[in-house]
């Protein structure tokens, strides 16, 4: 059964600090993995997408890594801002499928 586990469940950091969110998945065959950001009261928005052959991808202060062999991904946020407070959801996709498998997310709170 395809599963996604994210850690930590929640995280509180001070503004300006860095943090790293983790994702382990068992999706197979694997196509790609996205990290979504979901602000309170809004729908998820894609931050990055990584395919099997990609190890690292950056989007501004967000850097995602992928190890397809160990089925692990991480999202690193640099110099956090108050607007980074949100849930971050890891979403691997099975090859040839339009169905997404959502992790339970990490709730990040950035305090001033």
Partner 1 sequence: DAGVIQSPRHEVTEMGQEVTLRCKPISGHDYLFWYRQTMMRGLELLIYFNNNVPIDDSGMPEDRFSAKMPNASFSTLKIQPSEPRDSAVYFCASSYSGSNREQFFGPGTRLTVL
Minimum gap (Å) between residue 106 Cβ and partner 1: 12
Minimum gap (Å) between residue 93 Cβ and partner 1: 7
Q: Give contact residues for partner 1 (rule: CB under 8 A).
A: 32, 34, 41-46, 49, 89, 93, 98-100, 102-105
In the complex with partner 1, the residue whose CB is nearer, 38 or 78, is: 38
List of E strands, 3-105: 4-7, 10-14, 19-25, 30-38, 45-51, 56-59, 62-67, 72-77, 86-94
Nearest CA to 26 among 111, 101, 107, 81? 101
Minimum gap (Å) between residue 91 Cβ and partner 1: 9
């Amino acid at each position: 059964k395809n599963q996604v586990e994210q850690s930590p469940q929640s995280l509180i950091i001070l503004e300006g600090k860095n943090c790293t969110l983790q994702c382990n998945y068992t999706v197979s065959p694997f196509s790609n993995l996205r990290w979504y950001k979901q602000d309170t009261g809004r729908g998820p928005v894609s931050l990055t997408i990584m395919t099997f052959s990609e190890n690292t991808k950056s989007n501004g202060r967000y850097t995602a890594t992928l190890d397809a062999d160990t089925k692990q991904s991480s999202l690193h946020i640099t110099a956090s801002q108050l607007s980074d407070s949100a849930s971050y959801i890891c979403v691997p996709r099975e090859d040839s499928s339009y169905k997404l498998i959502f992790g339970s997310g990490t709730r990040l709170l950035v305090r001033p």
